[in-house]
Amino acid sequence: MNKDLFSLIGEKLPSFSKGHKLIANYILAHYDKAAFMTAQKLGRTVGVSESTVVRFASMLGYDGYPALQKALQEMMRSRLTAVQRIEVTSDQMNGEDVLERVLNQDIDRIRRTLEETSKQDFKSAAERITEANTIYIVGTRSSASLAAFLGYYLSLIFPRVKLVPSTTTSELFERIMHIDEKDLMIGISFPRYSKQTVKALDFAKHNGAKVVAITDSASSPIAKYADSLLLARSDMASFVDSLVAPLSLINALVVAVSIKNRDIVSETFERLERVWDEYDVYTKSGEDNQ
């Protein structure tokens, strides 16, 4: 099911029965609430039976209501404003232990990431990073922290790693204008997706560079540019984006790359340890820091 759910509903709306139109119109107007309703609750809300809701999902081409609900939740995350996110989270977690709920959700996201991301794409991403002449890393807004983490560790392994900063569109292209077929761009984007990241990957692809995309779904706007597509679950927690699973995936990628380049990594850190000791970079436990 590649078509946007709203587009699909819009196309079929004239042919719907009265009951199905009630469901469709409610989803279009209140998708942030409908995404977390059971079939029974959605039916009760709009005044139709649970079985009518289930048939509605089938008419749209989904294998049951849970599949429709999942598609609605996926689409919803890229559409909600920050205010809507807060409202949805308040409804979901009202009266619950927030610490337990959020941490358990993150555990589930890591598990789902392990199940859903391609082992072959993960392996090819590590190989492309190793083979690239210059590695460009782009990620904006909340994804900027992920890009910085990845950039920091890859720069300890490879001499030509460029973290593309979040800046104006004109400056973005100035930073990546020399990218070519020997290079690699790693794009990181999660809902709400950044247009800047999409433009950067489009530019890289048109200039012959390989692309590794780290995102949440095959329907993400950066997925179509990927030579290696790495998927990580990143659902919302209030207005905050949960980046636990993406960071875990990136951590695994850095480890995989370091294993492939073990000799270089060992030599690099031997040199760094000497520099850190010579210039007294780190404090040791129990030392007087004054």
What pLDDT, in 10s, does the model give residues 42-62?
Answer: 999 999 999 999 999 999 999
Would you say residue 74 has pLDDT above 50? yes
Task: Say yes or no to pLDDT of 93 above 80.
Answer: no
pLDDT for position 90: 56
Mean pLDDT of 94-110: 81
Confidence band of 86 (pLDDT split at 50, 70, 90): low
What is the predicted pLDDT for the residue at 85?
A: 56
* pLDDT: which is higher, 269 or 208: 208
Answer whether residue 240 shows pLDDT above 70: no
Q: Is 0.75 surpassed by the pTM of this model?
A: no
Specify the pLDDT at position 1.
43
| pLDDT tops 60 at residue 175 | yes
Average pLDDT over all residues of the chain = 87
- Determine the residue type at 117: T
- DSSP-H helix ranges across the chain: 5-12, 18-29, 31-34, 39-46, 50-59, 65-77, 82-93, 98-116, 119-131, 143-155, 169-176, 195-206, 244-260, 262-278
pLDDT of 30: 84
- Find, among 271, 173, 254, the residue nearest to 214 by Cα: 254
Domains located in the chain, CATH noted: 5-77 (1.10.10.10), 112-277 (3.40.50.10490)
pLDDT of residue 276: 87
Q: Compute the CA torsion angle 259, 264, 270, 274 (nearest 10 deg).
A: -140
Is 188's pLDDT higher than 90? yes
